[in-house]
Amino acid sequence: MQHSPTTSTAELCEHVRADSWPFDVTLTLDEHLGVTDALVSCRQCGQPYLLEMLDWQADQRVMRISVLDRSQAAGVIRDLTRGSCDLSRAAAEVHHLRTLSTFSRCLLLIQARTPVIEAVVALPPDVRLPGGSWRELPCDGSWLSYARSKTSMTNG
């Protein structure tokens, strides 16, 4: 059974906003035509986050974002960058971090080429985020359409 993080109202730092890219990519966990999953930190305040792609089309991506505990994130980054002869250790460490993390109640609509956050989309309580990897999700444009619709409602 796969454990997925809970969803909460975990607050993003004030630097995570539309028309910005406040992140330094600390460690890329997965990529396909660009970063899909990564440990990042805010350039301004150092808050660590886990970004995970839910959906994509062309250069737009919808990312789920989890607020991480600073010491837990630092430990995983230290362990993963140090390396190990145990091939399953990295996957186990990332899985453990995911189970400890809490999904934010926001999605990020990202222009991947630039990169820039096009919109931060607040999720209502009844919307449940999938816990699996983007590789297990349909990536059929539904999350992208959802994020775009919420963006157009708030911008116009």
Could you tell me the two tokens for 53? 């792609």
139 sits in the region (left: phi over 0; alpha: psi -120 to 50; else beta) called left
Task: Give the strand pairing for 23-31 and 102-111.
Answer: unpaired
User: What pLDDT, in 10s, does the model give residues 112-144?
Assistant: 888 999 999 999 989 988 988 899 999 999 999
Q: Contact at 8 Å (CB) between 55 and 61?
A: yes
User: What pLDDT, in 10s, does the model give residues 16-39?
Assistant: 999 999 999 999 988 988 889 999
User: What pLDDT, in 10s, does the model give residues 84-116?
Assistant: 666 667 777 777 777 777 789 999 999 988 899
Q: What is the pTM of this model?
A: 0.84
Residues 6+ apart with CB under 8 A from 46: 70
User: What pLDDT, in 10s, does the model give residues 33-74?
Assistant: 888 999 999 999 999 999 999 999 989 999 999 999 898 888
CA 68 – CA 50 distance, rounded (Å): 7
